Chain A
Amino acid sequence: MNELTNKLISALSEAEIGEIEAEIRHLPDRRSAAIDALKIVQNHRRWVSDASLASIAHLLDMSTAELDGVATFYTLIYRKPVGEKVILFCDSVSCWIMGGDKICDRIKSQLKIAYGETTADGKYTLLPVTCLGDCDHAPAMMIGDDLHHDLTNENVDTLFGGTND
């Protein structure tokens, strides 16, 4: 394992613990911060490893199994490594009507991944997401924190630089 991998699965950092404790301060008990804590750690490490999960559970005075039950319920908590950026592609109805599925197929073929997979270079992970609330600009997707909409073959090609037709 390289240094980065070690860092990603090691016990919680002081910064992470500090942020988690700040959330706990306005909650009536420690375990209520479960989702906040998972997201804080994920923000630092991109995903939540078994080791991170056990550390968070210890910090929140919960069993690891109970916390994993919470973590695996939510689609935006990643229990497997993800790429540098996660692409959340809207597969809900308005985007579907506007041809979103075909746009998504193009992305899949350009990046050579299916839903749930990460590109070979580790840059992108592709996931479907429920309606992004941008239906008047369908089809829409997020790349990391950025919203991209009114998607066409042309702007997808520009984004991912591929011409795999």
Chain B
Amino acid sequence: MWTPYLGGQMTDLPLTRNIARGKAPTDLTAYEANGGYSAARKSIGQSAPEELLEVIKDANLRGRGGAGFPTGMKWSFVPKPDIQNSPGHRYLVANADEMEPGTFKDRLLMEFDPHQLIEGMLLSAYTLSADVGYIFIRDEYHVAIKRLKDAIGEAENKNLLGDRILGSEFNFHLHVHISAGRYICGEETALLNSLEGKRAIPRAKPPFPQVSGLWGRPTIVNNVETLCNIPHIIDNGADWFRSLGLGSDGGTKLFGASGRVKNPGCWELPMGTTIREILEEHAGGMKDGYRLKGFLPGGASTDFLVEEHLDLPMEYESIMKAGSRMGTGTMIILDDRTCPVGMIANLEKFFARESCGFCTPCREGLPWVQQILDSIEAGEGKLSDIDILESQTRFIGAIGNTHCAHAPGAMEPLASGLKYFRDDFVRHIENKQCQYTSGGA
């Protein structure tokens, strides 16, 4: 059973206000009883879509899927509807393909408060004049799929989805698309190809999906957590949202910690909460007998940070300045008894396997990196291997040398790992063995 963080006061922690340890998932009645769909009721057919777009822009909501792109700006690139010259559907897609290793936040939102995502999509679709929506969800999330489908049925019965929603002229039909695996589906243009029934190979950009996305029509793809913020911003205003953050970024964020900490989990906290607070107060610090050696702040494709970074606030700019990315905000903790070379070898095995195979540097480069790391871990490495790894971090790590951001993302933990844990690499090679006993293989 999932043990989510105990949601706090309603307004301070909006995303988890219906979610608490031991509490049943929220159905439509419970969701509405706690103010749910009030943003939709006061906006659909009442407010102009342009007004809502301005509120989202003012709120400075940034994408919660990893890249942190400002949501309002992303939306503003969608052309205005033009029925005469450009008839056809306009699409909104929720990226619920949570597959970034170490990330476990969207599952919580979908399993325990599915209507929050649906209302977020409804309001977003209204703002964007989108008439069809898809929730692109990974197959393994059976519980979330069931609860989302049930919730969509409830919403349709109450005219919160479908035609002429709440008596307005607005139509929005929402479908659940169950994916068939592959991490690359999380890349938004690969996701669109997958929704079209094709191999999930990223598309060249431009054109951007906002102009030519799903089946060549205007399309917005947003992460689940991003969309879940929308009803609260519409309900309470941009100023309120910005005030929730402790620093430069507005709102709250689902942060998490996994690895050898006392209380691994996922918590909604103000944007800008320090890493130390997340690790020491919420995750309870390291397990007895283990010390912190480093951590990935936001999933597998973010750079390692170390103890000196503990007092940084978790927000986009400060983590970027420290040389990493906040990513998904769910941290993976490396302890002093787990081998950093082994951990990086595990990460690169994952990236090599998940390459879509379209471009050569990624398809060939990642398995090469993986083989070198495996041989170092097995005590068969040479010192010159470190140079090869470093040259790879510069070659396939550079945006523009590969078709998409997959290989550059893969190089982030490797480049930073070589920087912070270089002694470990050298020791493996000189001693011809791995001297760690805990964790991993």
Residues of A within 8 A of B (CB): 26-29, 31-36, 38-39, 69-70, 73-77, 88, 91-94, 96-99, 101-102, 129-138, 142, 145, 147
Question: When the two chains form the complex, which single residue of B107, B141, B195, B350 contacts A130, counting CB atoms closer than 8 Å?
Answer: B350
| Smallest CB gap from B266: residue in A | A136
Contacts of A132 in B (CB 8 A): 140
Contacts of B258 in A (CB 8 A): 94, 97-98, 135-136, 138
9 nearest A-B residue pairs (beta carbon): A34-B197, A75-B181, A135-B258, A74-B180, A136-B264, A92-B101, A76-B181, A101-B441, A131-B101
**Considering only CB atoms and an 8 Å cut-off, how many residues of chain B contact the other chain?**
64
Roughly how many angstroms separate A101 CA and B338 CA in the complex, as a whole number?
13
Interface residues in B1-60 (C-beta closer than 8 Å to A): 3
B189 at the interface (CB under 8 A from A): no
Is B104 a contact partner of A130 (Cβ separation < 8 A)? no
Is B199 a contact partner of A97 (Cβ separation < 8 A)? no
Is B439 a contact partner of A39 (Cβ separation < 8 A)? no
B440 at the interface (CB under 8 A from A): yes
Contacts of A32 in B (CB 8 A): 195-197, 215
Is A131 a contact partner of B100 (Cβ separation < 8 A)? yes
Chain B 202-244: CB-based contact to A (< 8 A → 1; otherwise 0): 0000000000000100000000000000000000000000000
B183 at the interface (CB under 8 A from A): yes
Contacts of A88 in B (CB 8 A): 140
**With A133-B141, A138-B258 known to touch, is A93 a contact of B99 (CB < 8 Å)?**
no
Contacts of A136 in B (CB 8 A): 3, 104, 256-258, 264-266
A90 to chain B, nearest CB (A): 9
Question: When the two chains form the complex, which single residue of B132, B177, B198, B440 contacts A96, counting CB atoms closer than 8 Å?
Answer: B440
Is A98 a contact partner of B182 (Cβ separation < 8 A)? no
Is A99 a contact partner of B439 (Cβ separation < 8 A)? yes
B260 at the interface (CB under 8 A from A): yes
A107 to chain B, nearest CB (A): 14
Roughly how many angstroms separate A69 CA and B266 CA in the complex, as a whole number?
38
B405 at the interface (CB under 8 A from A): no
| Smallest CB gap from A28: residue in B | B215
Is A93 a contact partner of B196 (Cβ separation < 8 A)? no
Is A93 a contact partner of B347 (Cβ separation < 8 A)? yes
Is A74 a contact partner of B182 (Cβ separation < 8 A)? yes
19 A-B contact pairs sorted by A residue (CB < 8 Å): A34-B198, A35-B197, A39-B139, A39-B178, A70-B197, A73-B199, A76-B179, A93-B102, A94-B258, A96-B342, A96-B441, A98-B258, A131-B101, A131-B102, A133-B106, A135-B256, A135-B330, A136-B104, A137-B264
Is B338 a contact partner of A130 (Cβ separation < 8 A)? no
Chain B 254-286: CB-based contact to A (< 8 A → 1; otherwise 0): 001111100011100000000000000000000
| Smallest CB gap from B178: residue in A | A39
Roughly how many angstroms separate A137 CA and B266 CA in the complex, as a whole number?
11
B132 to chain A, nearest CB (A): 8
Roughly how many angstroms separate A62 CA and B349 CA in the complex, as a whole number?
34
Is A94 a contact partner of B265 (Cβ separation < 8 A)? no
**With A75-B182, A96-B343 known to touch, is A145 a contact of B142 (CB < 8 Å)?**
yes
Contacts of B354 in A (CB 8 A): 130
Is A94 a contact partner of B178 (Cβ separation < 8 A)? no
Is B256 a contact partner of A38 (Cβ separation < 8 A)? no
Is B197 a contact partner of A97 (Cβ separation < 8 A)? no
Is A130 a contact partner of B183 (Cβ separation < 8 A)? yes
Contacts of B440 in A (CB 8 A): 96-97, 99, 101
Contacts of B265 in A (CB 8 A): 136
In addition to A92-B346, A99-B440, A133-B99, 8 A-B residue pairs with Cβ atoms within 8 Å of each other are A39-B180, A69-B199, A76-B180, A94-B332, A131-B102, A133-B106, A135-B102, A135-B258
B334 at the interface (CB under 8 A from A): yes
**With A130-B350, A130-B354 known to touch, is A97 a contact of B182 (CB < 8 Å)?**
no
Roughly how many angstroms separate A137 CA and B256 CA in the complex, as a whole number?
12
Roughly how many angstroms separate A136 CA and B257 CA in the complex, as a whole number?
7
Roughly how many angstroms separate A145 CA and B146 CA in the complex, as a whole number?
12
Is A93 a contact partner of B350 (Cβ separation < 8 A)? yes
A59 to chain B, nearest CB (A): 13
Contacts of A96 in B (CB 8 A): 342-343, 346, 439-441
Is A73 a contact partner of B182 (Cβ separation < 8 A)? yes
Contacts of B343 in A (CB 8 A): 93, 96-97
Contacts of A102 in B (CB 8 A): 441
Chain B 96-120: CB-based contact to A (< 8 A → 1; otherwise 0): 0011111110110000000000000
Contacts of B257 in A (CB 8 A): 136
Contacts of B124 in A (CB 8 A): none
Contacts of B140 in A (CB 8 A): 88, 129, 132-133, 142, 147
Question: When the two chains form the complex, which single residue of B100, B330, B332, B353 contacts A97, counting CB atoms closer than 8 Å?
Answer: B332
Chain B 126-156: CB-based contact to A (< 8 A → 1; otherwise 0): 0000001000001111110000000000000
Roughly how many angstroms separate A56 CA and B181 CA in the complex, as a whole number?
20
| Smallest CB gap from A67: residue in B | B197
| Smallest CB gap from B283: residue in A | A136
Roughly how many angstroms separate A142 CA and B103 CA in the complex, as a whole number?
17
Contacts of B333 in A (CB 8 A): 97
Roughly how many angstroms separate A141 CA and B311 CA in the complex, as a whole number?
34
| Smallest CB gap from B300: residue in A | A93
Is A31 a contact partner of B197 (Cβ separation < 8 A)? yes
